[in-house]
């Protein structure tokens, strides 16, 4: 890397993404397809759910800090009996809990490959009655007991392992807790999965499916969106946000830069980006205010040097 200002290397490489959020309506209460227990041992119990509340989704107004860290919780020396590890197999609790950290790992579970599992190896699911655009959960009350939402504390960490950072987000539920999303879809555990690798929730009610690293339904044939209606499929539309890394291969000496649209957006630290992660197409520019040399890219670029654009990005245009 040439002509790059180096910051003091931190022992833990934490990618901090500023996720833009805005109110997108009222959460509807729905019946669940099954009944049962909740997720693991209480760490930060969720408050009682009100009948309705506003939801939050990254779309360009306001902000919520989301700390994404590459690698697993173990690789990042997370303390024992915390986060996803505070959920002993075979001992489900009676209500959802909000964690200090959660882990999202691309893995194989049963016949599902790939599927996302948490730090304890438990399969994560998505619900057809939710929506991905705008991102919204329609699983509350008894449903959220059977299908505990994956919740993270404000300012908590999400360890990403084989899941693109640009696919990860959070929404604010009706009870004020923050639920993790993948590809826009809110994600859940199933209370009747009692050991790592269980996939007992797959296909329940014809509406619950393991979630893939890009938000699709795990177990579907390639190219079959099923009941997605096109939502959750790999993005071909313009991106609305991106993460910019100082180093190639999505690594960084410190917090990476998050930038979100719409339109032309100047980056906070110009001319230091060597790789980027995005969920669709966007245009990168060498000058401020989308001027100068430009390139159109579609999705992740592990090495901007391959496009002769290493350490050149000063602004990005979305849409």
User: Do 22 and 110 belong to one domain?
Assistant: yes
Any domain includes 297: yes
Domain boundary among 197, 228, 259: 228
Helix (H, G, I), strand (E, B) or coil at 145: helix
Q: How many domains does the chain have?
A: 2
Q: Which of 23-32, 201-210, 215-224 has the lowest mean pLDDT?
A: 23-32
Any domain includes 2: no
User: Do 49 and 86 belong to one domain?
Assistant: yes
Residue 75's Cβ-side half-sphere holds a number of Cα atoms within 13 Å equal to 13
User: Do 187 and 292 belong to one domain?
Assistant: no
Domain boundary among 228, 262, 286: 228
Q: Which one-letter DSSP state was computed for residue 204? A: G
Is the model more confident about 258 or about 128? 128
Looking at residue 279, which CATH number applies to its domain?
A: 2.60.20.10
Any domain includes 74: yes
User: Do 156 and 88 belong to one domain?
Assistant: yes
Domain hosting 161: range is 14-228
User: Do 61 and 172 belong to one domain?
Assistant: yes
Q: How confident is the model at residue 65 (pLDDT cuts 50, 70, 90)?
A: low
What average pLDDT does range 288-296 have in this prediction?
Answer: 93
What share of the chain in percent tops pLDDT 70?
Answer: 69
Q: How confident is the model at residue 254 (pLDDT cuts 50, 70, 90)?
A: low
User: Do 274 and 133 belong to one domain?
Assistant: no
Where do we find the tokens 């044939």? 221
Give CA–CA dist 41/97, Å, rounded.
Answer: 8
Mean pLDDT, the chain, rounded, equals 75
Q: Kindly provide the b/e burial profile for residues 39-72, where b requires at least 16 CB atoms within 10 angstroms of the residue's own CB.
A: bbeebeebeebeeebebbbbbbeeebebbbbbeb
Report the pLDDT value the prediction gives residue 30, as an integer from 0 to 100.
Answer: 31
Report the pLDDT value the prediction gives residue 271, as an integer from 0 to 100.
Answer: 93
**pTM over cut 0.95:** no
């Amino acid at each position: 890397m040439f002509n790059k200002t180096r910051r003091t290397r931190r022992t833990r490489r934490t990618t901090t993404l500023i996720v833009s959020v805005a109110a997108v309506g009222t959460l509807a209460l729905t019946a669940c397809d099954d009944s049962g227990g909740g997720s693991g041992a209480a760490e930060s119990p969720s408050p009682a759910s009100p009948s309705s509340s506003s939801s939050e989704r990254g779309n360009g107004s306001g902000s919520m800090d989301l700390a994404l860290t590459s690698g697993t919780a173990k690789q990042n020396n997370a303390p024992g009996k915390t986060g996803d590890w505070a959920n002993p197999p075979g001992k489900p609790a009676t209500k959802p809990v909000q964690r200090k950290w959660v882990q999202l790992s691309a893995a194989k579970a049963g016949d599902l490959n790939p599927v996302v599992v948490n730090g304890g190896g438990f399969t994560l699911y998505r619900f057809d009655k939710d929506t991905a655009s705008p991102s919204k959960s329609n699983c509350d009350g008894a449903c959220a007991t059977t299908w505990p939402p994956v919740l993270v504390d404000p300012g908590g960490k999400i360890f990403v392992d084989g899941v693109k950072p640009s696919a990860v987000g959070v929404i604010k539920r009706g009870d004020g807790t923050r639920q993790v999303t993948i590809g826009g879809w809110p994600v859940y555990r199933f209370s009747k999965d009692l050991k790592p690798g269980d996939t007992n929730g797959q296909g329940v009610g014809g509406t619950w499916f393991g979630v893939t690293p890009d938000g699709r339904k795990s177990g579907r044939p390639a190219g079959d969106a099923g009941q997605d209606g096109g939502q959750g499929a790999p993005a071909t539309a313009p991106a609305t946000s991106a993460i910019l890394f100082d180093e190639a291969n999505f690594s960084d000496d410190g917090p990476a830069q998050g930038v979100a649209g719409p339109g032309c957006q100047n980056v906070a630290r110009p001319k230091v980006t060597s790789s980027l992660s995005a969920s669709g197409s966007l245009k990168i520019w060498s000058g401020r205010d989308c001027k100068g040399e430009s390139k159109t890219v579609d999705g992740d670029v592990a090495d901007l040097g391959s496009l002769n654009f290493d350490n050149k990005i000063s602004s990005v245009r979305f849409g």
